[in-house]
Amino acid sequence: MLRLARVRRPATGAGAAVSSIRPTRPPPAPFTTTASTTDTSSSMAADPDGVAAEVATLLSRCTGDWKQVIAASDIPSRLSPAALSSLLRRCNSSPRLHPKLLLDFFYWSRTRLAPSAPAPDAFAHLAVSLCAAGLYPQANGLLDQMIRAYPTPPLVLSSVHRALSGSDQGRRPVVLDVLVDTYKKTGRVRDGAEVVLLMKDLGLAPSLRCCNGLLKDLLRADALDLLWKVRGFMEGAGISPDVYTYSTLIEAYCKVRDLESAKKVVEEMRETGCSLNVVTYNTLIGGLCRAGAIEEAFGYKKEMEDYGLVPDGFTYGAIINGLCKRGRPDQAKCLLDEMSCAGLMPNVVVYSTLIDGFMRQGNADEAFKIVKEMSAAGVQPNKITYDNLIRGLCKLGRMGRASRILKQMTKIGYMADTMTYNLVIEGHLRQHNKEEAFLLLNEMRKGGISPNVYTYSIIINGLCQIGESERASGLLEQMIADGLKPNAFVYAPLISGYCREGSFSLACETLKKMTRENLTPDLYCYNSLIIGLSNVGKMDEAIEYYDEMLEKGFQPNDFTYGGLIHGYSMAGNLEKAEQLLHQMLNSGLNPNDFIYAQILEGYFKSDNLEKVSSTLKSMLEKGLMPDNRLYGIVIHNLSSSGHMQAAVSVLSVIEKNGLVPDSLIYGSLISGFCKAADMEKAVGLLDEMAKKGL
């Protein structure tokens, strides 16, 4: 026999009665799983199941405001987390309560029981009932409370599994979809994937719709490891993929540049009879274009047209972007015209991409034609459009027009930001115009636009390029005072600048300063110092920094070896230069013509023609074809030392290899024959030059 709730007698008068059933509520607080001392004592004082039965009877019989009735009783003083848990499990018990009513009671009780929470099984039973009644948003909110109270996915899923054991909702109940969606909505997509993977051992599975949504969110979160596992779970659970599943898999493969696997997914779709749609093709075309496989992208565009699908703005935009990134803006322009003829309106992104493509090609006139075309079509340039124009003009050295575009951009309401100013400052510094660069830096500050690390780095580099490393050092200190932390990209040009100016002590001190500030110098910093010291013959110091670089785990590159080989060759230490050359070859690096030129110059200085011959032969054996510059060095040195027969034989090798000797090569030969008083051959070479238009 259920006990009826004991109702308190009101004080005196109607007003007091109303006051007694309208308590002031504190703001809601989230549940925790730790019961307070009060909760524990309450649960000991009252039978939880008995209290739950009283509440259930009251709720089932109450035709008015149940909150007022309960508030007027002694139930609030006897309510405990255990009693609430018992009540929430009574969805299908007698008296039968609607899950929405139980949910309302749950939220009403939370301010009275906080910070304690019901048992996880209680949450799960009510969530299952809410889903069975089609109250999915309410179930989502309840599961959100459950996840906050019990953050461990296995615990949550096992509770839901127990709640489902007595239901007839089948192998793929809706509550599983709602649970996974709840994890995703709360930003815990990895936990959502873990819950799905745990379903395998319980014989459960979410719907295809849920799996598709999870795959998409895992892709957005860059959690590709879990994406492949969820895909494997789908296969094991017998969840057949649809076009949305396949499209997500194609996008995932494209993201990791595995284009062959992406194309295999398309083949699988055909084999299983799953129709490809525009989204599927666009996903693959976009991936191919980003990887530079433009011709294949065109092939799939034609294929989708053959299947009766119509390319949309994304299709054209992806290919136009790919063409522009590969330096083919003229072809991209043809595609833009095709797009317009198809009745598709290019958006500002497509136009801006094409403008950037022409600017990167150095064709500013065509870029501005596109600007006029987009304006005529009713598409207004945005900040990205203006930045693309400014960047291109600055690279072309057309700073006057770049400044006018900057003013025009500001006039129509697009505020120049740090990136925009960086473009213009860098353009001025390319032309060694430090005054304009500093004027723009001051303009930035006055306008409340803060220079960033890159702003300072380009100005420091520009000053070092024109021999003002001391001023650059002062700017570095100002940068630090402004609260910005310089990186190796900032320090490297300063080290290089000091070396070019012969201030090696300052260059070395700058490197030490980086170490003191816990900033690891990069390979460029070491190379700048090694090359600078090698150029002035300070080989012992250069090798010290080379060894330090190796100790810090940096691998030398072409510039490292080139600087050291040049230094040793100039110092006449050809043995050491040759050792470094072999070391370079053994490390898998191919010396360039400059490095071979240094070695050859050293052999000529020591009059070791045998080494010259063997070095040239070694180059050819490795498939390295000397250019006119390298052959010119050989012929110049042979001619200067009177070895005219050898010089002429080298000329024959040049012509045999399909190269056209330049005027410097002919000049060296003519000078050599003149010194040898062989004027006939000298005049013959002059005639040969005239015939070749040199």
Query: What's the mean per-residue pLDDT of the chain?
Result: 86
Strands (E), 335-471: none
pLDDT value, residue 588: 84
Predicted structure pTM score: 0.71
Contacts of 44 (CB under 8 A, 6+ apart): none
Q: Confidence band (pLDDT; 50, 70, 90) for 196?
A: very high
16 pLDDT above the threshold of 90:
no
pLDDT value, residue 360: 94
User: What percent of the chain has pLDDT above 90?
Assistant: 58
- The answer to whether 165 and 127 have CB atoms below 8 angstroms apart is no
Rounded CA-CA distance 9/122 in Å is 33
pLDDT value, residue 91: 62
Residues 406-445: pLDDT tens digits? 999 999 889 999 999 999 999 999 999 999 999 999 999 9
Contacts of 640 (CB under 8 A, 6+ apart): 668, 671, 672
- Angle separating helix axes 120-132 and 153-164, nearest 10 degrees: 60
CA angle 186, 102, 78 (to 5 degrees): 105
Instruction: Check residue 211 and give left, alpha or beta (phi > 0: left; psi -120 to 50: alpha).
Output: alpha
Q: Is the peptide bond before 118 cis (omega within 30 degrees of 0)?
A: no
Question: How much helix, strand and coil, in percent to the nearest 5, is found in the chain?
Answer: 70, 0, 30
Q: Is the peptide bond before 95 cis (omega within 30 degrees of 0)?
A: yes
94 pLDDT above the threshold of 80:
no
- How many other C-beta atoms lie within 10 A of the C-beta of residue 346? 24
pLDDT value, residue 27: 40
Residues 173-195: pLDDT tens digits? 899 999 999 999 999 999 999 99
159 pLDDT above the threshold of 70:
yes
282 pLDDT above the threshold of 50:
yes
| 518: amino acid identity, one letter | N
Q: Where exactly are the structural domains of the chain? A: 76-236, 545-624, 625-693
Residues 534-593: pLDDT tens digits? 989 899 999 999 999 999 899 999 899 999 998 988 888 888 988 898 888 888 888 877
Reference 609, options 561, 646, 572; nearest CA is 646
CA-based end-to-end distance of the chain: 117
Q: Which CATH class is domain 625-693?
A: mainly alpha
User: What percent of the chain has pLDDT above 70?
Assistant: 91
Owner of token pair 């124009």:
389
Reference 210, options 172, 246, 167, 165; nearest CA is 172
Owner of token pair 């873990």:
194
Reference 281, options 258, 256, 241, 254; nearest CA is 254
CATH of 76-236 among 3.30.200, 1.10.3470, 1.10.287, 1.25.40: 1.25.40
Residues 228-272: pLDDT tens digits? 999 999 999 999 999 999 999 999 999 999 999 999 999 999 999
Reference 106, options 136, 77, 147, 141; nearest CA is 141
Rounded CA-CA distance 654/625 in Å is 10
- The answer to whether 100 and 127 have CB atoms below 8 angstroms apart is no
DSSP conformation letters of 407-427: HHHHHTT----HHHHHHHHHH
Residues 623-655: pLDDT tens digits? 777 777 777 888 888 888 778 888 888 788 777
- Find the mean pLDDT for residues 494-498: 93
- Report the range out of 439-443, 599-603, 664-668 with the highest average pLDDT: 439-443
Q: Confidence band (pLDDT; 50, 70, 90) for 112?
A: confident
- The answer to whether 138 and 103 have CB atoms below 8 angstroms apart is yes
Q: Confidence band (pLDDT; 50, 70, 90) for 621?
A: confident
Owner of token pair 């309401």:
413
Instruction: Check residue 205 and give left, alpha or beta (phi > 0: left; psi -120 to 50: alpha).
Output: beta
339 pLDDT above the threshold of 60:
yes
Instruction: Kindly state the tokens that stand for 644.
Output: 């005219």
| 466: amino acid identity, one letter | I
Instruction: Kindly state the tokens that stand for 168.
Output: 């007839």
- The answer to whether 252 and 227 have CB atoms below 8 angstroms apart is yes
400 pLDDT above the threshold of 80:
yes
Q: Do domains 76-236 and 625-693 have the same CATH topology?
A: yes
Instruction: Kindly state the tokens that stand for 9.
Output: 């007698």
pLDDT value, residue 673: 83
- Report the range out of 80-94, 113-127, 603-617 with the highest average pLDDT: 113-127
Instruction: Kindly state the tokens that stand for 353.
Output: 């991409």
Owner of token pair 């048992």:
119
- Report the range out of 50-64, 92-106, 533-547 with the highest average pLDDT: 533-547
Rounded CA-CA distance 412/418 in Å is 18
- Find the mean pLDDT for residues 303-324: 95
| 674: amino acid identity, one letter | C
